[in-house]
Structure 1
Amino acid sequence: MSDPALLSATALAGRFARGALSPIEALEAVLARIARLNPRLNAIIALDEVGARAAAEASAARWRVGLPLSPLDGVPFTVKDNIAVAGLPCVWGSPIFRDFVPERDELPVARLRAAGLVLLGKTNVPEFTLQGYTDNPVFGPTRNPWDPALTPGGSSGGAVAAVAAGLGPLALGTDGGGSIRRPASHAGLLGLKPTPGRVPRCDGLPAILLDLEQIGPITRTSADLIAVMALLAPPDPRDPLSAGFSPFAVPGAVRPQRILFVPRFGANPVDPDCAASAAAVAARLATLGHQVEEGEAPFTMELLAGLFTPVGQAGLAWLMAERGGEPSAPMLREMAAAGRALSGADLFAAVQGIAAFHRRMAGFFAAHDLILTPAAAALPWPAEQVAPPIIAGQPVGPRGHAVFTNFANLAGLPGIALPGPPSATGLPIGVQLVGPPGADGLLCALARDWEAAVPWAERWPALD
């Protein structure tokens, strides 16, 4: 592969170690690709060329003397624009935060920089990262590299568009209800939502979704995913949720897993291409030796909505009271108004319900190892449109495409998006695997085994 911008993170690092490529050359290739493609995609909304070049030069000097800071020293990465980066804007998709520039890196960013990785810049998000597409009144819409007329989803839409287009091999995203897994599925990538605390957090934006939201990596290959998680995962005393974790490890061999395949949640419609792709993945996992059983979800959509909705409403209402102003999007203004109408008892009831849901799902995993579902119920839709109004011929609400993912956030479970067979028109389609708390290493191992069985990393969108 002649263009270094199209190499994976681990492939780049291997060339750095052999002296076949320098971090400076790799960075310049990525910057050239950003200059060529980002104006079409609007994935990266703040670029730090000066800082990136300085970091690449320092990395090159370390590799020359054989003293890299980590196995990924010198690899470029991007950061979603609701994760704090010192000295760069953190706009969060909102005019209210247009001038906000953090003084400190959030911990995962600090860890990657301390490991020598080269920070390129920030990727686009929807306002307050509370919607499932990527557009906002400050920067406008991000476009899917597989079809720039369409959205890459959200809220990590800029992050997946960057990786899918070769604008850096790694991205940090956040997932509060599926915001890594669904966009990764729309872009043909891997995306991991870790167990709460597995990737420690501190020095970030207000946690308006409490601990439902985690930071996780978005990559093209499983080797990259595993390498980044090794850097992100050590516990930190500033995040009490991280205290109980043992060192991050990925099993070398995975025993056959008991997988419950849930092709749809209740009566919610699923696009036929998405349904067919998920069924094909389920069948292939069975041929790989796993015990795959089709069944229904061990919860209802009404239960999930009753738990998730008040948290987001109250969090947004609190943020608006703290910062002043109102969201730009009508849907978010309605959400904030609903949050202001909630009582403390309402929010406490939701928190208690979430705790009960944790216990309920712990019981489920006594009889099953994993849940397999489509990652999204719809294919990507027009980039300027909030959500698809119709799925499989049925009218749906603004979250109709997003029904499969937020149960993992509510139950504190890790989940991973894996590429499945694409649509009839070639659009990427993903599935998600969700495991019990702490199964992050197992999910990474399953991604490794799935990639070996069904390779996808050499499939690129035809942007050039």
Structure 2
Amino acid sequence: MAASCPLWALSASELAAAYADALSPRAVCEATLAHVAEVNPQLNAIVTLDEAGALAAADASARRWREGRPASPLDGMPVTIKDNILVAGLRATWGSKLYRDYVPDEDELPVRRLREAGAVILGKTNVPEFTVHGYTDNALVGTTRNPWNPLLTPGGSSGGAVAAVASGMGPLALCTDGGGSIRRPAAHTGLIGFKPSRDMVPRGKGFPAILHDFEVVGPIARCVDDIIRSMDVVGGPKWRATADEPGPPRLRIAYAPSFGDAPVDPVIRDVIERTIAQARTLGLDIETLSSFTLADPLAEIWPVISQTGVAWLLNQHRDWKDKVAPAIAEMAAAGSKYSARDYLGALDGIAALQRSFEALFTQYDFLLTPAAAAMPWPAGEPHPSMIDGRPVGPRGHAVFTPIANALGLPAVSLPCIVVDGALPVGLQAIAARDRDRTLLSFAREQQGRLFAHRWPEAFR
């Protein structure tokens, strides 16, 4: 680690080595909290800060490190938690006035595992209402901004989480991904965002599931080793069972530059094409699928699942009408018009997609795509209205990510190497279900060759 590197800029892997060499977790926590006080007002990333709890956890960690008995590889690591994941004693608003005053009395299971592992929980990060939008803004605490350019969005729904990690407010964030909510924000901020396979990270008791079984918990970090460290703590029996999983002798990789005829921003298209070309020069066997339509049916399925989920949730709250944003009310109104036949038809469509992608992954180990179809747009706007000169709807920027959620597949967003000063662009890699370790091993091998973390100019 460079002598001039501030403590708040160190990765969890670097901190573990430094703690073993007598650096105090208390010093790191204090430096991180001071950095939060300086930069969070500019970005609005952390919406509930637990300074006293973080310092107490850091002191307990310091004792364990002094005694040579750290609780885990994450002992003493500052972590933020997305505001739709429950943390005992901290407000959990889900970005909505409906939950303005909700304070859970117990941790959701992944949080409990982090706490038992000695992690230092700094606080909760901002989300859009009910985490169903691709930007991060709500009526409770306002808009979260991108550390690369505060006029732009960091994406959503993990916008607060990526803004925190990208600006140095902790090396790790625990988040959820229901349709790309980890991967697209990571792509917009130059981070690694990992969406595990379904059931790889058990959830326990939390907010109601409004996206069927699409949403999973996963980590965001600045390096792959920190992602793996996080999974070693929050992952359940399925993750541990794959510890000795052998990798394929030679990778077979498919690359889909677009899904159907959906537009992709030219900047993203060019960066991804250069990354694929570089990968081939490194010996990776990558086949371009110039016409990829396997995921097209999901465009009709997605509204049925998401809108009926919102309608069902609001039906549990008789006083919702004055407490949710107009966009949420519109989703609920649309969702209330679907029938049970529509919902079951959507599930049947997902089963058909499952068969198609199972066949795809008998031919290929990974599917590569852009992580997002649009570059970051103005922070207060819910979505871009145009991509590459073509009008798009609310999910036009999100076409590449939700298939992994619908099918329970592992997927990771990796920050491509771009011209210094340019906005980040993310490459998504998807694998067959439960091939999480193989996917992360690939990501770790390509770190520094095909992708790399950079700090935004303001935080270098």
TM-score, normalised to structure 2's length? Answer: 0.95
Q: Aligned ranges for residues 409-448 of structure 1 at < 5 Å?
A: 409-422=405-418, 426-448=422-444
Instruction: Note closer, same or farther for the CA distance 1:251–1:165 as it changes in structure 2 (3 Å cut).
Output: farther
Q: What's the CA shift for 1:345?
A: 1.7
Matching residue of 1:220: 222
Q: Aligned ranges for residues 69-148 of structure 1 at < 5 Å?
A: 69-148=71-150
Counterpart pick for 1:306 among 300, 312, 317: 300
* Cα distance in 1 for residues equivalent to 2:456 and 2:105: 37
**SS of 2:439 mapped into structure 1:** helix
**SS of 1:371 mapped into structure 2:** strand
Amino acid at match of 2:338: L
Q: Aligned ranges for residues 222-237 of structure 1 at < 5 Å?
A: 222-235=224-237
Matching residue of 1:239: none
* Cα distance in 2 for residues equivalent to 1:251 and 1:461: 39
Amino acid at match of 1:64: R
Q: Are residues 1:270 and 2:273 paired?
A: no
* Cα distance in 2 for residues equivalent to 1:249 and 1:212: 24
Matching residue of 2:287: 293
* Cα distance in 2 for residues equivalent to 1:163 and 1:27: 14
Q: What's the CA shift for 1:77?
A: 0.2
Q: What's the CA shift for 1:455?
A: 5.7
Is the 1:52–1:120 contact (alpha carbons within 8 Å) kept by the matching residues of 2?
A: yes
Matching residue of 2:351: 355
Q: What's the CA shift for 1:200?
A: 1.1
* Cα distance in 1 for residues equivalent to 2:62 and 2:400: 43
Q: Are residues 1:28 and 2:56 paired?
A: no
In angstroms, what is the RMSD of aligned CA positions? 1.7
Amino acid at match of 2:368: L
Q: What's the CA shift for 1:306?
A: 2.0
Amino acid at match of 1:8: S
Instruction: Note closer, same or farther for the CA distance 1:36–1:127 as it changes in structure 2 (3 Å cut).
Output: same
Q: Percent identity?
A: 50
Q: What's the CA shift for 1:247?
A: 2.3
* Cα distance in 1 for residues equivalent to 2:392 and 2:300: 18
Q: Are residues 1:16 and 2:10 paired?
A: no
Q: What's the CA shift for 1:255?
A: 3.8
Counterpart pick for 2:335 among 339, 344, 364: 339
Amino acid at match of 1:297: F
Counterpart pick for 1:198 among 182, 197, 200: 200
Is the 1:274–1:429 contact (alpha carbons within 8 Å) kept by the matching residues of 2?
A: yes
Amino acid at match of 1:9: A
Amino acid at match of 2:9: L
Instruction: Note closer, same or farther for the CA distance 1:47–1:261 as it changes in structure 2 (3 Å cut).
Output: same
Q: What's the CA shift for 1:458?
A: 4.9
Q: Report Cα offsets for 1:166-199 as digits up to 9, x if no partner.
A: 0000001111110000000001000001000111
Bigger mean CA offset, 247-256 vs 101-110? 247-256
Matching residue of 2:45: 43
Matching residue of 2:315: 321
* Cα distance in 2 for residues equivalent to 1:93 and 1:190: 24
Instruction: Note closer, same or farther for the CA distance 1:251–1:279 as it changes in structure 2 (3 Å cut).
Output: farther
Runs (5+) with no aligned partner, structure 1: 236-241
Bigger mean CA offset, 321-330 vs 164-173? 321-330
Counterpart pick for 2:373 among 373, 377, 381: 377
Q: Report Cα offsets for 1:289-338 as digits up to 9, x if no partner.
A: 2211111324153x102222111111111110112314633332111011
Q: What's the CA shift for 1:213?
A: 0.5
Instruction: Note closer, same or farther for the CA distance 1:94–1:214 as it changes in structure 2 (3 Å cut).
Output: same
Q: Name the count of aligned residue pairs.
A: 454
* Cα distance in 1 for residues equivalent to 2:142 and 2:276: 37
Q: What's the CA shift for 1:250?
A: 7.4
Is the 1:234–1:248 contact (alpha carbons within 8 Å) kept by the matching residues of 2?
A: no
Q: Report Cα offsets for 1:193-215 as digits up to 9, x if no partner.
A: 10001111111111111210111
Is the 1:273–1:423 contact (alpha carbons within 8 Å) kept by the matching residues of 2?
A: no
Is the 1:254–1:446 contact (alpha carbons within 8 Å) kept by the matching residues of 2?
A: no
Runs (5+) with no aligned partner, structure 2: none
**SS of 2:175 mapped into structure 1:** strand
Amino acid at match of 2:196: P
Q: Report Cα offsets for 1:52-82 as digits up to 9, x if no partner.
A: 1110000000111101100220001000000
Instruction: Note closer, same or farther for the CA distance 1:177–1:427 as it changes in structure 2 (3 Å cut).
Output: same
Bigger mean CA offset, 37-46 vs 410-419? 410-419
Q: Report Cα offsets for 1:248-275 as digits up to 9, x if no partner.
A: 4377876432111111112211111100
Q: Report Cα offsets for 1:374-405 as digits up to 9, x if no partner.
A: 00011101100111111111111111111111
Q: Are residues 1:185 and 2:187 paired?
A: yes
* Cα distance in 1 for residues equivalent to 2:147 and 2:171: 14
Q: Report Cα offsets for 1:427-458 as digits up to 9, x if no partner.
A: 01101000000111111111111113246235
